[in-house]
Structure 1
Amino acid sequence: MSQIARLMRTHLWLHQMLETTALVCLSLLIIRVTVQDFYIRGHSMEPTLHDQESILVSRASYLFHQPARGDIIVFHYPLHPQDDYIKRVIAIPGDTISILQQTVIINGNKLNEKYIDKNDLSNPFPSFRSRKIGANQYFVMGDNRGSSSDSRLWGTVPRADIIGKAIIVYWPLEADNLGLLTHTQ
C-alpha cells in the first residue's frame, strides 16, 4: 500500500472519529439540557411517588406550552430557592380555588382526585374560600395531603421557578410504579 493511500485512510479514520465524538458530545449536551434526574425525598407524593425513588424530569416540556392541572412538576421551593420540590399542579393561572375541609374546588367544581389515598386524610387541610390564582402562578399540592408542605402553607409557585415535568420513574428497578408517569386532572 502506498504512503498516500495510508495517509488518506488515516485522515478518513480521524475525520470519522472526530465526527462521531462531536455527535456524541452534542447528543449528551442536548440530553443534559432537556432532561434532569430528581431523587424523591420524603412521602409527600405518595401513593404516586415514593421516598428514595429516582425520576427523570423533562426540562423541555414547557417550552411550547404552560404547565397543566394534574402535571407533576419539579420546582425551586419559593421560600428557599436552592431546594427543589416535587408536587402536583392543582390550579393554574386564572383559576379560583377553594379548599373546604378535604375537598378541593376549582372554578366552582369539585376536583376529582383519583391519585390521592382517600383513606389517609387524617390531617385536615387548612380551609379557605375563593383564592384567585395570579398570572404566571401555580397552586401545587402533594398527593399525600396529610404529609405535604405545599401551596396551602407557603403560597403559589411562580412559573419562572418551575424546572420541568416529571415523566419517568426509573429507580429502583423493583418499584411498583416503574415507567412513565400518568398525569391526571
Structure 2
Amino acid sequence: MKRSHLAREVIETVLLTLLIFFVIRFVIQSYHVEGVSMVPSLQNDEYVLVNKAIYLLHPPERGDVIVFHNPTNTSVDFIKRVIGVPGDTVQVDANHISINGVQLDEPYISSPATQVTNTWKISPGKYFVLGDNRPVSDDSRYWGCVPQSYIVGQAVAVYWPTKSWEFISTYSSVYAHVKTGQATTTSGAQSC
C-alpha cells in the first residue's frame, strides 16, 4: 500500500513540475540583446525577460519595448520601442518625432538625430517601432511597420548581468497627450 502511494506522489510531482515548466515556457521567454540600437535603455549583451502572454489581454501600447520577428528576415528577432499604434500618423524629421500632431519629448533616446524624414499612417494590425539609439537603429523608418502577428511579447525586465537588473520603463507619461483616433491628415503620408 505504501509503495503505490509513494509511486502516485512521485507521478503527481513529475506531472505538476512538467505543467509548471510548460506554462512558464508559454508565458516567459529570455531574449539576448545584441547590438546598441536600444542604448541607453538596454545595453549590448544584456538579457531581458519577455512576457509572451500579455498581448493576449490587450494590444501593444506606445512606449512598450517589444521583441518581434524582423519583417525582412523572420528568423531573426529584434527589440525596439513601440512609437505608433494602428490609426496613428507618425511624422519624423531630423530631430523630432510627432504622433497625431503631438511632438514627443523622449527622455529615453540617445540622440534625436535621424537621416530619415517622412510621415507614416499606421494601418490596422501594425506597429511603428524605433530603437532608442536613433542614429544607428535599423527600424520602421527603413523597413516599415511590424505586423501584430510578428510580435513575440513585451520586454519587462533586464535580469542579466545582475548589476543591471531593472524593470523596463514604458515612459507612459511621454505619450499621455497623444490622442488615439485623432490622427492628423497629412498629404503624402506613406501607408505603413
Asked whether 1:28 is paired with 2:21, we answer yes
- Residue among 93, 100, 113 paired with 2:93: 100
Whether the aligned pair in 2 keeps the contact of 1:125 and 1:145 (CA below 8 Å) is: no
Determine the structure 2 residue equivalent to 1:161: 150
Deviations 1:56-75 (A, max 9, x none): 10100100110000000000
SS in 2 for 1:36: strand
Determine the structure 2 residue equivalent to 1:49: 42
In the alignment, the residues of structure 2 paired with residue 16 and residue 183 of structure 1 have an alpha-carbon distance, to the nearest angstrom, of 44
SS in 1 for 2:135: helix
Determine the structure 2 residue equivalent to 1:184: 171
Identity of matched residues, %: 41
- Residue among 127, 131, 153 paired with 2:117: 127
Query: Which residue identity lines up with residue 27 of structure 1 in the other structure?
Result: I
Distance apart, 1:181 and its partner CA? 1.3
SS in 2 for 1:66: coil
SS in 1 for 2:163: coil
Whether the aligned pair in 1 keeps the contact of 2:159 and 2:166 (CA below 8 Å) is: yes
- Greater C-alpha radius of gyration: 1
Whether the aligned pair in 1 keeps the contact of 2:93 and 2:114 (CA below 8 Å) is: no
Distance apart, 1:156 and its partner CA? 0.4
In the alignment, the residues of structure 2 paired with residue 170 and residue 9 of structure 1 have an alpha-carbon distance, to the nearest angstrom, of 44
Q: Structure 1 length as normaliser, TM-score?
A: 0.90
Unmatched 5+ residue regions in structure 2? 173-192
Quote the RMSD (CA, aligned, Å). 1.1
In the alignment, the residues of structure 1 paired with residue 163 and residue 44 of structure 2 have an alpha-carbon distance, to the nearest angstrom, of 14
In the alignment, the residues of structure 2 paired with residue 73 and residue 124 of structure 1 have an alpha-carbon distance, to the nearest angstrom, of 21
SS in 1 for 2:15: helix
Equivalenced residues, count: 172
In the alignment, the residues of structure 1 paired with residue 18 and residue 105 of structure 2 have an alpha-carbon distance, to the nearest angstrom, of 45
Determine the structure 2 residue equivalent to 1:4: none
Runs of 4 or more off by more than 4 Å in structure 1? none
Deviations 1:13-47 (A, max 9, x none): 11111111110100000001111110000000000
Distance apart, 1:180 and its partner CA? 1.6
- Residue among 9, 12, 32 paired with 2:2: 9
**Shift in CA distance, 90/125, structure 1 to aligned 2, threshold 3 Å:** farther
Deviations 1:155-180 (A, max 9, x none): 000000000000111111122xx122
Determine the structure 1 residue equivalent to 2:129: 140
